[in-house]
Amino acid sequence: MHAFANPAKFLSLARPLTPWLFWLGLTLILAGAACGLFLTPADYLQGDSVRIMYIHVPAAWLGMGGWSSMAIAALVQMVWRHPLAGVAGRAIAVPGALFTAICLATGSIWGRPTWGTWWEWDGRMTSMLVLLFLYFGYIALARASAEQAGGIGDNGGVSRVTAIFALVGAVNLPIINRSVVWWNSLHQGPSITMRGSTIDSAILWPLGLTMMGFSLWFGAIVLMRMRAILAQNKVEARLARRAREA
């Protein structure tokens, strides 16, 4: 772990990795989407609208996975004081919020032809909307604390309060996951569980491609944003030193 504590070491790995993740991810997304749009059969009940699943499910997974990673980064930041943990947490927030929004939007579009409604306040949809607001809160908090500190500084501008917010917000994750089991909801129960999948393999298989593709692409975006924060930090540090010398 501490091999990456040095930002220079991290950058020597992140620089070549970024384009690989990006293009590999994009290729897998396009392949999965093409297969899901044109090759797989329609669902017996939902018809063609089931094809929205190939983007809705990866978006849900990354929206929730993003916050899990931010919570882990916050823990690492507070306990081990790892200099890159805050940078990572802050870099995840924007793509995490994006995927949560995509999950909500595609779910809404999917709900209209299948359930007969754009939006209902059921447990799953409400808790997912809460996650989106949590992301907005984190982004605003991180920005405000960086501004107050007069620059990005250590931890990528993620103050202790922001890190604690990421940890506390993680409470929402098991609630989202269990919402369709605990409460009578319009959203169906989980299809893919530890015991197997209730989605027939003829419909399921492109989902693996888009899941993998969006995850790699998410990684590429996080690396880009981390590199941007580190470079910006370097600029700020240099300018500050120059001002002191002058």
Partner 1 sequence: MNHWPFIIAAYALTALGTLGVSWTSWRAMRSAEARADALRKEH
Partner 2 sequence: MKSKHQRLILALAALVAIIAAGLLAASALKDEAAYFYVPNDVKTKGVEPGKAVRLGGMVEKGSLRHEADGVTIRFTVTDGKAQVAVTFKGIAPDLFREGSGVVAEGAFDTQGTFVASNLLAKHDERYMPREMEGMQYDETTHQMKGAPKP
Binding residues for partner 1, rule: CB under 8 A, are: 22, 33, 37, 47-49, 51-52, 55-56, 59, 94-95, 98, 101-102, 105-106, 109-110, 112-113, 217, 220-221, 224-225, 227-229, 231-232, 234-235, 238-239
Q: Which one of residues 6, 12, 148, 188 is an interface residue with partner 2 (CB under 8 A)? A: 188
Closest CA to 102 of 217, 235, 223, 220: 217
Q: What single-letter amino acid sits at 223?
A: L
Pick 98 or 166: Cβ nearer partner 2:
166
Q: CA-CA distance, 24 to 18, in Å (whole number)? A: 10
Residue 78 CA to residue 76 CA, distance in Å, equals 6
| Residue of 67, 53, 137 whose CA lies nearest to 100 | 67
Pick what 109 binds: partner 2, partner 1, none; C-beta below 5 to 8 Å, kind-dependent. partner 1
Q: 48 contacts which partner out of partner 2, partner 1, none, CB within 5 to 8 A by kind?
A: partner 1
> Among 27, 68, 177, 185, which residue interacts with partner 2 (rule: CB under 8 A)?
185
The Cα 198–Cα 191 span in angstroms is 5
One symbol per residue from 104 to 143: x for binding partner 2 (CB under 8 A), - otherwise; what is it? ---------xxxxx--xxxx--------------------
55 binds, among partner 1, partner 2, none (CB under 5 to 8 A by kind): partner 1
Q: Please, which contacts does 71-76 make with residues 24 or more away whose CB atoms are closer than 8 Å?
A: 71/166, 71/167, 71/169, 71/170, 73/163, 73/166, 74/158, 74/162, 74/163, 74/164, 74/166, 74/167, 75/167
Task: Find which of partner 1, partner 2, none residue 22 binds, CB within 5 to 8 Å per kind.
Answer: partner 1
61 touches partner 2 (CB under 8 A): no
